[in-house]
Amino acid sequence: MLELAQHILDIAENSIRAGAKLIVISVNEDTEKNLLTIEINDDGCGMKEEEVKKALDPFYTTKTVRPVGLGLPLLTDAARKSGGKLDLQSQTGRGTKVTATFRIDHIDRQPMGNIPATLITLIAANSEVDFIYDHRHNGRQFKLDTREIRDEIYDVPIYHPEIIKYIRNIIEEGLCEIETEA
């Protein structure tokens, strides 16, 4: 994975496979502290303590389609290469929280990538899941909550092309307003 948005997509897809109905994706860019933090928090089935310990091993996976699980190990590597770290917390029946930190100005930090496309992919492909995206940049904030959008659109499915176009515009304008790199 070459961009942080791809990591976000991968971890959120793991959350969906774990039965999450609400996924909160938070990004905090603090140039004064030279710190970028990405947090993905879900209400899925969670992991047992033994699974949490194994989850960062690329040769461990609960998937049956391939014998390796690279998402968390690759994100861990990306964080470490840029002077950061990854923290994984999970409780069976309560969900999982992944927090990755990066030094913003580190030469090896991957670019954010296409956050709007990542969010649109998640929302359009997973209409039964709600997403909160909270992006902060030097004190300015953009927040998107699909539960609020569902309240506005009534019976129109969230994956309807016009709704997806509307959501994409909200995301692009919101990120532009807070002057983020995404």
Q: What are the pLDDT digits (tens) for 43-63?
A: 999 988 888 777 776 555 554
Candidates 105, 154, 158; CA nearest to 130 is 158
Prediction pTM value: 0.91
Q: Tell me the per-residue pLDDT of 84-139, one tens digit each, with 9 for 90 and over.
A: 999 999 999 999 999 999 999 999 999 999 999 999 999 999 999 999 999 999 99
Pairing mode of beta strands 22-30, 35-42: antiparallel
The rounded distance, in Å, linking the Cα atoms of 76 and 78 is: 5
The CATH code of the domain at 4-177 is 3.30.565.10
For the cut 50, the answer to whether the pLDDT of residue 39 exceeds it is yes
Under DSSP, the state recorded for 107 is T
Place of tokens 């995301």: 171
Query: 145 near 134, Cβ under 8 Å?
Result: no
Q: How much is the mean pLDDT over the chain? A: 91
Contact 11, 56 (CB under 8 A): no
Which pair of structure tokens corresponds to residue 79? 């964080």
